[in-house]
Chain A
Amino acid sequence: MTVTEQGGTEAATGQPLVVLDGVNKWYGDLHVLQDINLTIKRGEVVVVIGPSGSGKSTLCRAINRLETIQKGSITLDGKPLPEEGKALAALRADVGMVFQSFNLFAHKTILQNVTLGPIKVRNMKKAEAQDRAKELLDRVGIGHQADKYPAQLSGGQQQRVAIARALAMNPKVMLFDEPTSALDPEMIAEVLDVMVDLAKQGMTMVVVTHEMGFARTAADRVIFMADGAIVEENTPEEFFTNPQSDRAKDFLGKILKH
Chain B
Amino acid sequence: MDALVDNLDLILKGFWTTIQLTVVASIAALLLGTVLGTMRVSPIPPLRWLGAAYVEIVRNTPLTLVFFFMVFVAPQVDIVVEFKTSAYVALSVYTAAFVCEAVRSGINSVSTGQAEAARAIGMTFSQSISTVILPQAMRSIIPPLINIFVALTKNTSVAAGFFVTELFASGRDLNLRHPSDGLWFLGGVAFFYLLITIPAGIAASQLERKVAIAR
Contact = CB atoms under 8 A, between A and B. Distances in A.
Most buried by A among B111, B120, B135, B214: B120
A76 interface: no
A90 B122 contact: yes
Interface stretch (B15-23, B124-132, B186-194): B124-132
A103 B123 contact: no
A257 interface: no
Contacts of A101: 113
Interface of B: 43-44, 111, 113-114, 116-124, 127, 131-132, 135-136, 214-215
A86 interface: yes
Q: Report the contact-size class of chain A (Cβ under 8 Å from the partner).
A: 20 to 34
Give the interface SS of chain B, mostly helix, strand, loop or mixed: helix
Given A103-B116, A105-B132, A120-B131, A166 B121 contact: yes
A121 B118 CA distance: 10
A84 B43 contact: yes
A116 B131 contact: yes
B39 to A, nearest CB: 15
A219 to B, nearest CB: 22
A206 interface: no
Contacts of A90: 122
Interface stretch (A19-27, A92-100, A190-198): A92-100
B215 A107 contact: yes
Contacts of A120: 123, 127, 131
Contact of B123 (A96, A117, A151, A162): A117
B117 A95 contact: no
A204 interface: no
B126 to A, nearest CB: 10
Per CB-CB distance, the 10 closest pairs between chain A and chain B, nearest first, are A93-B122, A117-B121, A103-B117, A103-B113, A97-B120, A121-B122, A92-B122, A89-B124, A84-B43, A89-B122
B122 A169 contact: yes
Given A84-B43, A107-B215, A121 B123 contact: yes
Contacts of A166: 120-121
A189 interface: no
Contact of B117 (A84, A91, A99): A99
Nearest to B130: A120
Contacts of B114: 103, 105-106
Contacts of A99: 113, 116-117, 120
Interface centre among A92, A103, A116, A149 (most CB of B within 10 A): A103
10 contacts: A66-B119, A91-B122, A92-B119, A93-B122, A97-B117, A107-B215, A117-B121, A121-B123, A121-B127, A151-B215
Contacts of A121: 121-123, 127
Contacts of B113: 99, 101, 103
Contact of A104 (B117, B122, B135, B215): B117
